[in-house]
Amino acid sequence: MIRIDVQTMGALIGLLRKDGFKVLGPTVRDHSVVYDEIRSYEDLPIGWTDHQSNASYTLVPTEGKPLFAFAVGPHSWKQFLFPSECPLVRSHRTNGSMELRGAQEPLPAPLAFFGVRPCELHAIAIQDRVFLEGPFADPWYKSVREHLFIVAVQCTHPGGTCFCASMKTGPRATRGFDLALTELSGGSILVEAGSQRGSELLTQIPWQPAEPADLEEADQLLSNAAASMGRSLETEGLQQVLYANLMHPRWDVVGHRCLSCANCTMVCPTCFCSTVSDGSDLTNTDAQRTRTWDSCFTSDFSYIHGGSVRPSTRSRYRQWMTHKLASWIDQFGTFGCVGCGRCITWCPVGIDLTEEARLIREQAPQAKPTS
């Protein structure tokens, strides 16, 4: 573990850019912290913190110019690995024959993610399972993921809707990164290398060895963070509780509140549903298939000849929540939720899935999961 000055962030970003990486990281735009290309230290959200709650997100300035005093905003890293719009196939029709080609273009430069929170590292790992480890892998995701450079940030300022501690995805990350940063008071940052590439990069910046006091401070900040989560979710037996209560009256209650707006699925860092659209030129000679993000909340998501399998909002909310917290485990071996709290913050009516899960568990006729 080494210690560097906060301004050295700029040098880090510069080195990555010199190595040909496009560096993506947090920056302030539209009154929130979003992820976009960053070119220098000044692009970072210096001196900002966020206040998050149900249906509420506010960015406020904070004293001391910390770099990472906020939690997560409406963006997640999935938009870079799994773009919201992505051409898939081109079809060219001539003289009674059809030429079909893949339409995905390679990226002009490898990507570096700067400022990935522990919950987000887990989200990336969860999407790795979906897109890389099934019987059919997504070659574009693979090509971006292989060369991805990750600078993680240990979370010292959990947000008002965070519950990574409950989901065991934070506030500290131990692997899955090339570098991990912990911001201390007084303008210094601890850096830990998690890979060969990470170590090599550190040799090119000025650093000092970390003092025991620094390490103690880091530990203290992180255990404070773990103890001050905005939300909590009891995960013990949760899958069974949800499976046993698919007809629970609570679904009707939340179904009435839900607008089926799909915000939660868009901000969720693990949601992966997509759809395809087909278009062609006016002569129908050249056609293209494009993949776009989709959401299980849309009314025709489950449409088969004649109608949707899930016509009611209630059933679609149930599908989303039970997928995230129950059937994901059967499909991929882990929860689909990493406790980032985005769905709570960005739901326009402030639905909180931790509360919904708690109420179903408490009011369930079969409250005790079978062992």
Partner 1 sequence: METLQPILAQHPFFKDLQPEYLELITGCASNVRFDTDSYIFHEGEEAHHFYLMRAGTVALEVPTPDRGPMTIQTLGEGELIGWSWLVPPYTWHFDGRVLELTRAIALDATCLRKKCEADHNLGYELLKRLTVMIEQRLQATRLQLLDVYGPSA
Partner 2 sequence: MDRALEAEMILETTLDSHFVPRPFRVKKIKHETHDVFTLELTPEDGHPLLFRPGQFNMVYVHGAGEVPISISGDPAKPETLIHTVRAVGAVTIGMKSIRRGDVLGVRGPYGTPWPVDEAVGSDFVIVAGGIGLAPLRPVIYEALKRRQQFGKLVLLYGTREPDDIVFAKTLEEWRARFDFHVFVTVDRALGSWKGHVGVVTSLLPRASFDPMNTLAMVCGPEVMMRFTALELLKLGVDAEQIYFSMERNMKCGIGLCGHCQFGPYFVCREGPVFRYPQLKQLLSIREI
From partner 1, partner 2, none, interface partner of 307 (C-beta below 5 to 8 A by class): partner 1
Question: Of the two residues 18 and 305, which places its CB atom closer to partner 1 in the complex?
Answer: 305
Under rule CB under 8 A, which residues in 263-292 are in contact with partner 2?
A: 272-276, 278-280, 284, 287, 289
User: Which residue in the set 60, 100, 227, 253 belongs to the binding site for partner 2 (CB under 8 A)?
Assistant: 100
Stretch that binds partner 1, among 41-49, 70-78, 151-159, 303-311 (CB under 8 A): 303-311
Smallest gap from Cβ 90 to partner 2, in A, equals 9
Told to check if 370 binds partner 2 by CB under 8 A, we report no
What are φ and ψ of residue 288, in 5° steps?
-135, 140
Smallest gap from Cβ 202 to partner 2, in A, equals 13
CB atoms within 10 A of CB 247: 8
User: Which residue in the set 61, 84, 139, 366 belongs to the binding site for partner 2 (CB under 8 A)?
Assistant: 139
Told to check if 151 binds partner 2 by CB under 8 A, we report no
Told to check if 147 binds partner 2 by CB under 8 A, we report yes
Task: Compute the distance between CA of residue 185 and CA of residue 190 in angstroms, rounded to an integer.
Answer: 11
Told to check if 249 binds partner 2 by CB under 8 A, we report no
Question: Of the two residues 61 and 307, which places its CB atom closer to partner 1 in the complex?
Answer: 307
Told to check if 205 binds partner 2 by CB under 8 A, we report no
From partner 1, partner 2, none, interface partner of 187 (C-beta below 5 to 8 A by class): none
| Residues binding partner 1: number (CB under 8 A) | 3
Q: Angle at the Cα of 285 (from 281 to 290), degrees rounded to 5?
A: 55
Smallest gap from Cβ 366 to partner 2, in A, equals 14
DSSP 66: -
Told to check if 95 binds partner 2 by CB under 8 A, we report no
Task: Compute the distance between CA of residue 262 and CA of residue 275 in angstroms, rounded to an integer.
Answer: 14
Told to check if 18 binds partner 1 by CB under 8 A, we report no
Task: Compute the distance between CA of residue 75 and CA of residue 278 in angstroms, rounded to an integer.
Answer: 27
Task: Compute the distance between CA of residue 84 and CA of residue 266 in angstroms, rounded to an integer.
Answer: 9
From partner 2, partner 1, none, interface partner of 186 (C-beta below 5 to 8 A by class): none
Which helix (H) or strand (E) element contains residue 26?
strand 22-29
Question: Of the two residues 68 and 297, which places its CB atom closer to partner 2 in the complex?
Answer: 297
The residues, ordered by sequence, that sit 6+ positions from 318 with a Cβ below 8 Å of its Cβ are: 246, 251, 255
Closest of 7, 15, 14, 6 to residue 203, by C-alpha: 15
The residues, ordered by sequence, that sit 6+ positions from 157 with a Cβ below 8 Å of its Cβ are: 49, 66, 68, 69, 70, 71, 225
Stretch that binds partner 2, among 154-162, 229-237, 305-313, 349-357 (CB under 8 A): 305-313
61 preceded by a cis bond (ω within 30 of 0):
no
Told to check if 311 binds partner 1 by CB under 8 A, we report no
Task: Compute the distance between CA of residue 237 and CA of residue 367 in angstroms, rounded to an integer.
Answer: 10
Told to check if 113 binds partner 2 by CB under 8 A, we report no
Question: Going by DSSP bridges, is the β-strand pair 149-153/179-183 parallel, antiparallel, or unpaired?
Answer: parallel
CA–CA distances in Å: residue 332 to residues 130, 323, 336: 7, 11, 8
Told to check if 305 binds partner 2 by CB under 8 A, we report yes
Smallest gap from Cβ 57 to partner 2, in A, equals 27
DSSP 106: P
Told to check if 307 binds partner 1 by CB under 8 A, we report yes
Smallest gap from Cβ 309 to partner 1, in A, equals 13
Question: Of the two residues 229 and 242, which places its CB atom closer to partner 2 in the complex?
Answer: 242
Closest of 146, 224, 142, 144 to residue 182, by C-alpha: 224
| Cα four-point dihedral sign 52, 58, 63, 69 | positive
Stretch that binds partner 1, among 29-37, 39-47, 300-308, 325-333 (CB under 8 A): 300-308
Residues of this chain that interact with partner 1 (CB under 8 A) are: 305-307
